[in-house]
Amino acid sequence: MKRVGFMLKVKKDKIEEYKAHHQHVWPEMLDALRRHGWHNYSLFLSEDGLLFGYFEAEESFQASLEGMAKEPINAKWQEFMAPYFENLGGAHADESMIELEEVFHLD
């Protein structure tokens, strides 16, 4: 397993809606994430919209992203969620995630 951390930015005026949608993630999307190695997946959000994501990938961040890119439900979810993010430049959030370097871990 590879531990993966990433960052994005949610628009401040969309934070409450963003959080509400994540209380009811589509079951097909959850199934796709599991199929492509997104284990122990969590999202953390600050009041200014900074979003930190963490998951444990079976292989790598890139392999997990590539797997999801093949899923039609992911394309629908990304399109649905795109208006909630800052600075995507026309890309979807999963194409704009900034992977963070792991510098410390304690089991």
Distance between CA atoms of 95 and 12, rounded to whole angstroms?
A: 21
Amino acid symbol at 77:
W
Beta carbons within 8 Å of 40's beta carbon, 6+ residues apart? 54, 55, 56
16 C-beta neighbours (distance < 10 Å), count: 8
Could you give the CA distance from residue 43 to residue 22 in angstroms, rounded to a whole number?
9
**24 catalytic per annotation:** no
Q: Is 50 helix (H, G, I), strand (E, B) or coil?
A: strand
Identified catalytic residue from 21, 22, 36, 105: 22
Catalytic site positions: 22
